[in-house]
Amino acid sequence: MNLGHEKLIVYQRSLDFIEFVHKVINIETLKISASDQLDRASTSIPLNIAEGTGKYTGKDKCRFYDIARGSALESAACLDVLMKKGKISEEVALEGKKIIIEIVSMLFGLIKSNSDRVYENEFKYESSSNNEN
């Protein structure tokens, strides 16, 4: 028996990220507050996806998907902090960020599909110094 959120690929990837975080956080890194924050932020991702999936209106769903997206970005920042403090390697941080990029992209898709927000098409901005006016 599967609940609605368990069928979502983004939910499954968020559990993969929790497994990754569990392997990264060890006795050495637990002494740093960023490790605790990474544990909490990564745990928040699937919890908010599950809660959002259970909501009836698009607006309610998007609120929880937005929170999950924020927690994913917070997790990426925690990986940066741990790397800068020498607790994890750049390779480990990049491995985690690859999973986070997938999660954020899928969450953005869920938000876009459940929302009536207006989105700007991708546009390349150029520096005014390139123009010869």
pLDDT for 5: 82
Query: Quick one: pLDDT band at residue 24, thresholds 50, 70, 90?
Result: confident
Tens of pLDDT along 78-87?
999 999 999 8
| Burial state string for 27-49 with b = 16 or more CB within 10 A and e = fewer than 16 | eebeebebbebbbebbbbbbebb
Averaged pLDDT of the chain: 85
In CATH, what class is 4-130?
Answer: mainly alpha
CA 88 to chain CA centroid, Å, is: 19
Lowest mean pLDDT among 26-30, 63-67, 76-80, 101-105: 26-30
Gap between the Cα atoms of 100 and 21, Å rounded = 11
Flag whether the pTM goes above 0.95: no
Query: What are the percentages of helix, strand and coil residues in the chain, rounded to 5?
Result: 75, 0, 25
Amino acid at 125: Y
Query: Quick one: pLDDT band at residue 128, thresholds 50, 70, 90?
Result: low
Mean pLDDT on 48-69: 92
Residue 30 in this model has a pLDDT that exceeds 50: yes
Coil/strand/helix, residue 1:
coil
